[in-house]
């Protein structure tokens, strides 16, 4: 039986020096593919708001959005640990609200843990959730839910004061019981220092190679999102361009009548066709082009339907769809 990765497995990976791969995922098919590729940690990030729902920040995302997408990811991934982001407004109003919302997210998605942003300012909330049995991943550095307060998507922790503050944030999260900490868009040397100073896995995004693991937004990695191209995002495929080409070809084939072919269509029983012919008047001599094409096509289908190697379902006209 397949066993799902747990937070203890992730800690063990970090302790043994095995790098942890995390990827965002927002739907069933992507989660299934990532799981089949052996990715142990899937994040249903609130980047959902930008890369899937088309907002220009993560702020409009709701708990219901996260539950809707989170449960699809849990259904798609059989082995990966699934962590779901707590969206803006679902935990900043106090630990009681946080506990209520995190409980809903866990119960209604079946995910293994939640993630929330903020260091020292979120430590008490993290502590309360962990105490209630909810594993929590922290997130410091560039925290997109505070984009309005920090003045944009900028590198964090560049000055000594900011850097020391971030180290203290990481320590506060560790002390509160966070099982891992995302470090987003911080200088490599600072991410390295933080990784050396805490005993839980650090997962970097734009934080250099010395973290315990890495996370990427799946739409960046697949070339599916053009609106923002962070320096730290590497495109491992160009599915955006491939999709555009496929959609264009599909449209062209519909317009020229090359799609669908008889092979992509369904047959009808010859006797049923005969009955229909008897019940409806024959087409008149001055058929339109469309009627003529349809007529030829019906004849072709009829010829195929009377071929000897028909399966029972084809002969009955039942396509099983
Ligand atoms: O929401 C998200 O996708 C994230 C990652 C960028 C870490 O928080």
Q: Report the pLDDT value the prediction gives residue 286, as an integer from 0 to 100.
A: 62
Percent helix, percent strand, percent coil in the chain, to nearest 5:
50, 10, 40
Q: Report the pLDDT value the prediction gives residue 281, as an integer from 0 to 100.
A: 74
For residue 221, the tally of other CB atoms under 10 A from its CB is: 17
Residue nearest to atom 4 of ligand 1 (CA): 45
Residue 24 Cα: closest atom of ligand 1: 3
What domains are there in the chain, each with its CATH number? 7-243 (3.20.20.60), 260-315 (no CATH)
Q: Shortest CA distance to 122 belongs to which of 87, 92, 101, 156?
A: 92
- Checking DSSP bridges between strand 113-115 and strand 136-141, what pairing results, if any? parallel
Reported as a pLDDT band with limits 50, 70 and 90, residue 280 is: confident
Whether the predicted pLDDT of 247 surpasses 90: yes
Structure-block tokens of residue 314 = 């084809």
Residue nearest to atom 3 of ligand 1 (CA): 45
Structure-block tokens of residue 195 = 């990784």
CA of 54 to the centre of ligand 1 (A): 15
Residue 182 Cα: closest atom of ligand 1: 7
Q: Report the pLDDT value the prediction gives residue 308, as an integer from 0 to 100.
A: 61
Q: Report the pLDDT value the prediction gives residue 229, as an integer from 0 to 100.
A: 87
* Percentage with pLDDT > 90 across the chain: 80
Q: Are 172 and 120 in contact (CB under 8 A)?
A: yes
CA of 83 to the centre of ligand 1 (A): 11
Of the candidate ranges 141-145, 192-196, 287-291, the one whose mean pLDDT is the lowest: 287-291
What is the Cα–Cα distance from 211 to 19, expressed in whole angstroms? 8
Residue nearest to atom 2 of ligand 1 (CA): 45
Structure-block tokens of residue 273 = 């066709």
Structure-block tokens of residue 268 = 């009808």
Whether the predicted pLDDT of 287 surpasses 90: no
Longest dimension (CA), the chain: 89
Strands of 221-270, DSSP E: none
Residue 183 pairs with which residues in a beta bridge? 140, 204
Whether the predicted pLDDT of 3 surpasses 70: yes
φ/ψ (deg, to 5) at 214 = -130, 150
Q: pLDDT of 9-64, one tens digit each? A: 999 999 999 999 999 999 999 999 999 999 999 999 999 999 999 999 999 999 99
Q: Shortest CA distance to 138 belongs to which of 108, 101, 113, 103?
A: 113
Q: pLDDT of 154-164, one tens digit each? A: 999 999 999 99
pTM, rounded to two decimals: 0.87
Structure-block tokens of residue 315 = 């002969």
> Annotated catalytic residue: which of 184, 238, 252, 300?
184
Q: Shortest CA distance to 182 belongs to which of 67, 86, 92?
A: 86
Q: Report the pLDDT value the prediction gives residue 317, as an integer from 0 to 100.
A: 40
Residue nearest to atom 8 of ligand 1 (CA): 45
Structure-block tokens of residue 57 = 């920040």
Whether the predicted pLDDT of 128 surpasses 60: yes
Residue 22 Cα: closest atom of ligand 1: 7
Place of tokens 């998605």: 109
Q: Are 181 and 140 in contact (CB under 8 A)?
A: yes
In the annotation, is 184 catalytic? yes
Whether the predicted pLDDT of 261 surpasses 80: yes
What is the Cα–Cα distance from 96 to 214, expressed in whole angstroms? 31
Q: Report the pLDDT value the prediction gives residue 296, as an integer from 0 to 100.
A: 80
Q: pLDDT of 198-242, one tens digit each? A: 999 999 999 999 999 999 999 999 999 988 889 999 999 999 999
Q: Report the pLDDT value the prediction gives residue 288, as an integer from 0 to 100.
A: 66
Average pLDDT, the chain: 92
Q: Report the pLDDT value the prediction gives residue 31, as an integer from 0 to 100.
A: 98
| Three-state SS at 212 | coil
- Residue list, ligand 1 pocket, CB within 6 Å: 24, 43, 45-47, 85, 139, 182, 184, 205, 215, 217
The torsion angle over the Cα atoms of residues 148, 153, 156 and 162, rounded to 10 degrees, is: -20
Residue nearest to atom 5 of ligand 1 (CA): 45
Residue 215 Cα: closest atom of ligand 1: 7
Q: Shortest CA distance to 30 belongs to which of 205, 224, 213, 202?
A: 224
* DSSP H or E run through 205: strand 202-205
CA of 164 to the centre of ligand 1 (A): 23
């Amino acid at each position: 039986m397949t066993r799902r990765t747990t937070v203890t497995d992730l800690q063990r990976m970090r302790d043994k020096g095995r790098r942890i791969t995390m990827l965002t995922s927002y739907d069933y098919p992507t989660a299934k593919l990532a799981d089949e590729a052996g990715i142990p940690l899937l994040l249903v990030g609130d980047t959902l708001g930008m890369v899937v729902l088309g907002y220009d920040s993560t702020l409009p995302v709701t708990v219901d959005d996260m539950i809707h997408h989170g449960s699809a990811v849990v259904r798609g991934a059989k082995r990966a640990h699934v962590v779901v982001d707590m969206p803006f407004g679902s935990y900043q109003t106090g630990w009681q609200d946080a506990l209520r919302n995190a409980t809903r997210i866990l119960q209604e998605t079946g995910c293994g843990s939640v993630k929330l942003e903020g260091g020292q300012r979120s430590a008490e909330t993290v502590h309360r959730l962990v105490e209630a049995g909810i594993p929590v991943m922290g997130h410091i550095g560039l925290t997109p839910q505070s984009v309005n307060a920090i003045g944009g998507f900028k590198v964090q922790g560049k000055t000594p004061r900011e850097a020391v503050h971030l180290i203290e944030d990481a320590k506060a999260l560790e002390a509160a019981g966070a099982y891992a900490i995302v470090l987003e868009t911080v200088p490599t040397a600072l991410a390295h220092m933080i990784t050396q100073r805490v005993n839980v896995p650090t997962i970097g995004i734009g934080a250099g190679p010395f973290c315990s693991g890495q996370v990427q937004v799946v739409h960046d990695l697949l070339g599916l999102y053009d609106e923002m191209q962070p320096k730290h995002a590497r495109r491992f495929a160009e599915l955006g361009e491939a999709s555009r080409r496929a959609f264009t070809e599909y449209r062209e084939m519909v317009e020229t009548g090359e799609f669908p072919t008889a092979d992509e269509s369904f047959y009808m029983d010859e006797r049923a066709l005969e009955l229909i012919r008897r019940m409806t008047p024959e087409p008149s001599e001055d058929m339109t082009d469309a009627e003529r094409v349809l007529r030829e096509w019906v004849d072709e289908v009829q010829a195929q339907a009377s071929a000897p190697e028909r399966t029972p379902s084809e002969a009955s006209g039942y396509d099983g769809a």
